[in-house]
């Protein structure tokens, strides 16, 4: 397997997360991480999972009350097994995001690297409009890290996603982002990575 192939899988799959809700809830725990997961003072339960390919697993976690179709906060844990590193995975996501630029006036991103740990943290904001022409705004921070020893070559993603629905909520969300963003980035960068079984 080449470095490019799994990175492209990751980019396509992660881009799909942005706006495609799961068709039906599937909660098979492929990673040995059933939840709840504590993050930044909140508890997240496994609500959806997928294994689109033998080397790629994605699991989504929400606080009680949120649904995959309309959430305010989501925690993501994903793994890709293959000859790739965190920088490859982040670059693939950046390329997917850059393809949105012509149609997304709010798209913005930033990249932080932790070379000592071999990790990369990408944070980005994207937007879309619903059928009524109202904005949906989403801010994400994705922490890419090498898989733990014993799991093979590859990358794990731990991410946090926040959304706002409707023009008024989107405006308030954007106004609060300068406070939310650094706090969530610090929490994600400092969080212990999940210990995976699968």
Per-residue pLDDT of the chain (198 residues; tens, 9 = 90+): 222 233 333 443 444 433 344 444 578 999 999 889 999 999 999 999 999 988 999 999 999 989 888 999 999 999 999 888 999 999 999 999 999 999 999 999 999 999 889 999 999 999 999 999 999 999 999 999 998 766 678 999 999 999 999 999 999 999 999 999 999 999 999 999 988 775
Distance CA 146, CA 123 (A): 18
Q: Give the E-state strand segments of 2-81 in sequence order.
A: 37-39, 42-53, 56-62, 73-81
Measured CA distances, 108 to 16, 32, 45, 95, 111 (Å): 18, 34, 29, 13, 11
- Are 13 and 22 within 8 A, CB to CB? no
pLDDT of residue 152: 73
What does the domain layout of the chain look like in residue ranges?
Answer: 4-190
Nearest-angstrom CA–CA distance, 52 and 149: 23
User: Is residue 18 a contact partner of residue 166, using CB atoms and an 8 Å limit?
Assistant: no
Where does residue 170 rank: exposed (0-12), middle (13-18), buried (19+ CB within 10 A)? buried
From residue 133, give the alpha-carbon distance in Å to each of 41, 128, 173.
34, 9, 17
């Amino acid at each position: 397997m080449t470095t490019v192939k799994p990175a492209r899988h990751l980019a396509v799959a992660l881009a799909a997360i942005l706006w495609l809700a799961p068709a039906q809830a599937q909660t098979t725990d492929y990673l040995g991480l059933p939840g709840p997961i504590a993050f930044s003072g909140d508890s997240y339960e496994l609500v959806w999972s997928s294994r689109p390919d033998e080397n790629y697993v994605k699991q989504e976690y929400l606080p009680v009350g949120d649904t995959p179709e309309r959430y305010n906060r989501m925690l993501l844990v994903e793994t890709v097994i293959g000859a790739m590193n965190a920088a490859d995975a982040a670059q693939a996501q950046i390329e997917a995001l850059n393809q949105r630029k012509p149609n997304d006036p709010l798209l913005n991103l930033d990249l932080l690297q932790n070379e000592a740990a071999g990790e990369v943290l990408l944070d980005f904001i994207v937007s879309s409009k619903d059928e009524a022409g109202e904005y949906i705004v989403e801010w994400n921070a994705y922490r890419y890290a090498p898989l733990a020893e014993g799991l093979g070559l590859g990358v794990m993603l731990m991410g946090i996603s926040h959304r706002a629905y409707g023009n008024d909520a989107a405006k308030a969300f954007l106004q609060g982002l300068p406070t939310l963003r650094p706090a969530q980035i610090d929490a994600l960068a400092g969080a212990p990575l999940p210990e995976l079984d699968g």
